A and B are shown apart, each in its own frame.
Chain A
Amino acid sequence: MSSVNEHSGGTVAERAPTLELHEIQATILRPRPAPYFGTHVLLRVGDARPGRAFLRRLTPHIDSAANWWSAVDPWLEVGISYSGLEALGVPQDSLQSFPASFREGMAARARQLGDEGVNDPKNWDRPYGKGEVHIGVSAFSDSEENRRRILGIAREQLAGFSGVSVLAMQDFGAQPGDLNSLGYKDGIDQPAIEGSGVEPLPGQGEPIKAGEFILGYPGEAGSPLPLPQPDILGRNGTFVGFRKYQSRVGAFNRFLQANGRNEAERELLAAKLVGRWRSGAPLTLAPEVDNPALGADPHRNNDFNYSDDPRGRQAPLGCHIRRMNPRDTKLTRLTDVKLHRLIRRGTTYGPPYDSNALSEADDQVPRGAYFLFISAKAMATIEFLQQEWVNDGNFMGLDQERDPIIGLQEEGATFTIPREPVRRRVHGIDTFNVLRGGEYFFMPSLSALRWLGELG
């Protein structure tokens, strides 16, 4: 079995972690296993009393982040939406202490998120965006057998309740090579978090203050973010933006076919869109041809910055990974890159990527990814990213160009590939990942889960 901590695998620091890891939910720090197998379960709480009883039964099975760097067991995590907190009977003054965007919910923030057109909440799958999703439970494991076992534990806690119902269940993972639904290795670049107990991996950058990701600790500006009240509820918790994307594999392949004359050209174009080859090897370190060994090595596949590539001739300025983490790129706007990072847990669902899928019917095949975007200010950060780094190009000097992978493309959209002597501008780029749903969750600490279970 390959290392569980493939994407985190830094060495344990000499200094003990300063975070209260035994309080913090495992998913916040633990990366996906490789390979990974899991299930998302969305629940509705019909009545506060059974809802709290369910939480009391579930909480002992929720894993903490203690020893997260060496943990190998499968684990369960739980998030609660604002309507979920209401349904559980959380007191009014406590509810009001949550950020406004969380209280409104992801669907209501569609304008700020740029979720319009095909991504508009009115087009979302059930049960998203209607205030019906109260609790999300996710199981992560390293084998199908373990997935079933850990999911069974979660389901046992539900047994015999009429007040808590399952709205949706979705298995994820188990793709050959852990590739995502557009055929790339993903989840490589994660922010390093100060005090989490491990040295950053090469290229992960300076650790970011824990308060950016976990409530109750100082952030980059020096002070902690306001805590949801009472303190026991807020402290060591965080927020999760949960977004379900469907990949339009046919449209993606048609775009590659239309703009690449042969396999080599198409694969280079595919790499230019992301900034990495499908293997995970970054263009900055492998600009001409793929290097699968480099892509597979967590100590090398993220060990770069853009100091030798200021104009994007290797990794285009507008490619996906350079947008999501510009590193040392000189941006047109005054920006502190450390303030706009997210912990990402991408979980792929549906059939694997098929390079021969070219039809419009292939675009309708349910496959894609559920993303968990984790941060102590996840709502503000996701809104910022959507407005500034995903659905605009101004910050990179790219005018109106959008992220080629997760952007919502408009008629006549382009993607610029800087080259010598003149850049290439590829036309006809389409929306390759369509948003099918989303919710904001609060991911409470273990003490907060007990507090919630014992309310009233």
Chain B
Amino acid sequence: MATQTQIATTPQNEAVVEQKIQKLKELYADAPELGKVALEKGLPDLRRELAAATGTQNAGRIGARQGKVSELTGIIPFAKGGAKRLRGLLQALEGNFRGGDVVGTLHDMRFVFLDNDTQLLFATAYDGEWDAYIDDFVTKIPNSMDLIFSNLEGWPGIHNPSVKDFIVKHQIAAEAWYVANPNLTVAETRRLERIGKALDEFLDKVSE
């Protein structure tokens, strides 16, 4: 894999960076004074960041991916009474979702109620591609899926083969997606946590 320093030193890349900066200057020509000044003063930092840009990949049919981690963002209208039910459910869960552990790939999930409780913003970071595992959700956790998502308008039910299309239809690909540790899956993070603890215990014993 190419390192950042390699990228920064190629003349070709420098030209690309200069092009990008020209483009940004044009874009910011009608920005508020604050923005224009920030662009000018921030140029050295920005130049470094642009030189190191590596781009995102795609996560399956839609969504962005960095290394092994993908994002899924959707805005979906609530079914009648759905906002009230889902809020009640989430409050009963005390705003947490330990049950999500069982899936083994979810880094996080976010439920945000928009526009006077008429729409749900659902955002999650997860490992790999979701559609490879949708059938496993059907046979393994159908009730958890339907309990949450039946509160959304048009949810066909997890057993309905059109459920994939429902998800894709409401999914909005992120314009940008930053992941600090793109190669660490949930499983790998848990493994490293275990190893870290075991190593500390071992070192404690050795140093006694």
Contacts and interface: CB of A to CB of B under 8 A. Distances in A.
Interface in B114-160: 127-129, 132-133, 135-141, 159
B103 interface: yes
Interface stretch (A77-85, A288-296, A383-391): A383-391
Given A221-B135, A222-B159, A394-B68, A336 B140 contact: yes
Interface residues on B, range: 20 to 34
B103 A339 contact: no
Main secondary structure of the interface of A (DSSP, over half): loop
Interface in B150-191: 159, 161, 185-188, 190-191
Contacts of B135: 221, 336, 339
Contacts of A397: 187-188, 190-191
B128 A334 contact: no
B204 to A, nearest CB: 17
Nearest to B127: A394
B81 interface: no
A63 B164 CA distance: 38
Given A222-B159, A394-B128, A333 B103 contact: yes
A331 B102 CA distance: 10
A335 B133 contact: yes
A394 to B, nearest CB: 5
B139 A336 contact: yes
Contact of A334 (B129, B141, B190): B141
A339 B132 CA distance: 11
B139 to A, nearest CB: 5
A387 B128 CA distance: 9
B139 A333 contact: no
A334 B136 contact: yes
Interface in A29-77: none
Nearest to B100: A334
Contact of B159 (A223, A334, A387): A223
Interface in A334-378: 334-336, 338-339
B136 A339 contact: yes
A140 B186 CA distance: 46
A399 interface: yes
24 contacts: A220-B139, A221-B135, A221-B138, A221-B159, A223-B159, A331-B104, A333-B103, A333-B133, A334-B136, A334-B137, A334-B141, A336-B135, A336-B140, A338-B139, A339-B135, A384-B132, A387-B128, A387-B129, A388-B128, A394-B127, A394-B128, A397-B190, A397-B191, A399-B191
Given A331-B104, A336-B136, A339-B139, 9 more contacts: A222-B159, A333-B103, A334-B105, A336-B139, A338-B139, A387-B132, A397-B188, A397-B191, A399-B188
